[in-house]
Structure 1
Amino acid sequence: MTVKFDDRDAVAHGKITEKPLRERPTFPSWALKLTMAVTGVIFGLFVLVHMIGNLKIYLPDVDGKKDLDVYAAFLRELLVPLLPHGWFLWIFRIVLLICLVLHVYGAFALVGRAHQSRGKFKRKGMVGSLNTFTARSMIVTGIVLLCFIIFHILDLTAGVTPAAPDTFAHGAAYANVVASFSRPGVAIFYVIAMVVLFLHLSHGLWTAVSDLGITGKRWRAILLFVAYLVPALVMIGNSTIPLGVMFGLIG
């Protein structure tokens, strides 16, 4: 541990040290936390809207076309002719990629600094709760989600086998989802990933409330409730799709 006023006897016996356990970073920790909070909120909003769009798989056909396919075509045509065909999606993907890089960098940087600052000392006596578990497992759940994102892109966006089924066709969103989740292993993996997303996102949004400086008692109570409500809705909504395909409700 470090001390502001050094005790010569303690220093002499090696119990404390006058030297800091890590160098002062060029990018302050508060800025990293703020970056992670902002990017985390962006991801939270994205997965919520993405889930709402996914649930169109349950809606009836539109002029003989699957409503999910109509929605996918709408996204590619968004802001046309202001932007060329498909550009909005690519700009949006680039923004999300930048947010992802910043979020991952901030996470590993903060964890590294925390370990350096604590040295050999570890936190003890923490009260066991869901929030404590999610806090301790943020890096693990984050890595699982990163692997899931890569697989999800290869499966339902890029159509790269063996992540995607052999029948993958660009633009056929409904058929691609059904074909992908017809594989039980993939469907179960998606459901597990949604549970992990709930654990990670709920604690992330819960932490972002403080990192963004929201201190009002009423606002904190509302936002902390939302921090659990939104991830729960996303988990339940998205999980119904692979389960629906597995049990023949969608197809």
Structure 2
Amino acid sequence: MGSITAPVAVPRPDPVTPMPDGRAPRPSTVTLKVTMAVSGTVFALYVLVHMIGNLKVYTGAEHFDDYAHWLRTLAEPLLPYEGALWIFRAVLLLALAAHVGASLVLIVRARRAKGAFRRTGMGWRRVPATLMPYTGLVLLVFIVVHVLDLTTGTRPIAPSGFTAPTQDTSHAYANLVESFQRWPMALFYIAVMLMLALHLVHGLWTLATDFGVTGRRTRQVWALVALVFAVVVMVGDISIPIAVLAGWVS
């Protein structure tokens, strides 16, 4: 009898890993970065103008109150009372929503891409970038506190002597002084301005990358501009609570 040949085992094919569908995530990372760059520029210009306006406190109560009242009556009678101010607030709110939304999506994507690996060897230069989510969160909290303190006069955030503005008068000077005479609020404001400076330094620096600037000399100059801008805003804003606590503004 002939020998019986054992059946040959046919190897099972390895599971096939599904190929990616090739579709890019929406919105694209480039779109998100440009959104953050544009909205960040809006906020950078706002904090600069806001700081310049706040420095009018050194001109005395009458001038500062006149400036605050002028903001509420800007473009009258074309716009109603506080009409221009509400337009500014709406633009800032939209920019804030776009900035925060884009940043959250980018953070999630970055963490998924890096997985368990973390970038090392960057030293102190990496500190502002690493702290961006945290300084951003602190700034969000500050915006709420600042509005409750000096805009709506909501207790217990606002001082007990807060006086709301009317269509004829403003009490911005007295409200600001009374708020910063409380040393916890003054220290909180100073600490947040330090956070703002860190946020501005890295945020303005990334504008060069987001807008496609590649020249080494241009990037160096822009880094210096970002640093000077952040320091000017920080020093100008911090000087006010210090002046109130020292009794120079009262």
Q: TM-score, normalised by structure 1?
A: 0.86
Q: Could you report, residue by residue, the CA deviation over 1:64-120 in whole angstroms, capped at 9, with x for unpaired residues?
A: x52111110111111112211210000100100010011011111100011111222
Distance 1:114 1:103 in 2: 16
For residue 124 of structure 1, report the CA deviation from its aligned partner: 3.3
Larger Rg: 2
Paired amino acid for 2:48: L
Long gaps (5+) in structure 2: 1-13, 165-169
Question: CA offsets, 1:174-223, max 9 Å, x none?
Answer: 00000100100000000000000000111000001210123344543332
Change (3 A) 1:52 1:58: same
Q: How far, CA to CA, are the matches of 1:19 and 1:107 in structure 2? A: 29
Q: What SS class does the counterpart of residue 137 from structure 1 fall into?
A: helix
Q: Does 1:168 align with 2:167?
A: no
Per the normalisation by structure 2, the TM-score is: 0.86
> Which residue of structure 1 aligns with residue 80 of structure 2?
84
Show the counterpart of 1:39. Answer: 39
Q: Measure, in 2, the Cα distance between the counterparts of 1:19 and 1:163.
A: 55
The 1:208/1:93 distance shift into structure 2, 3 A limit, reads same
CA distance in 1, matches of 2:185, 2:249: 16
Question: Residue 206 of structure 2: SS of its match in structure 1?
Answer: helix
Which residue identity lines up with residue 160 of structure 1 in the other structure? Answer: T
Give the distance between the partners of 1:124 and 1:35, measured in 2 at CA.
25
Separation in structure 2 between the aligned mates of residue 57 and residue 209 of structure 1, nearest angstrom: 34
1:150 is aligned, of 128, 144, 149, to 144
Partner of 1:243: 242
Distance in 2 (CA, whole Å) between partners of 1:124 and 1:83 is: 52
User: Within 5 A, what are the aligned runs for 1:58-137?
Assistant: 58-60=58-60, 66-120=62-116, 122-129=117-124, 131-137=125-131
Which residue matches 1:7?
A: none
**Structure 1 pair 182/208, CA: closer, same or farther in 2 (3 Å)?**
same
Which amino acid in structure 2 is aligned with residue 58 of structure 1?
Y
Residues 168 and 19 of structure 1: CA distance in aligned 2, closer, same or farther (over 3 Å) = farther
2: distance between equivalents of 1:19 and 1:243? 61
Deviation by residue 1:6-59 (Cα, 9 ceiling, x = unmatched): xxxxxx9xxxx8866xx8422101100000011111111100010000000001
Give the aligned partner of residue 184 of structure 2: 185
* Amino acid in structure 1 at the alignment position of 2:91: V
SS at match of 2:123: coil
* Separation of aligned partners in 2, 1:115 and 1:219: 30
Secondary structure of 1:84 counterpart: coil
SS of structure 1 residue aligned to 2:177: helix
SS at match of 1:36: helix
TM-aligned CA distance change 1:168 to 1:38, over 3 Å: same
**One-letter amino acid of the counterpart of residue 40, structure 2:** G
Q: 1:19 to 1:150 in 2, by over 3 A?
A: farther
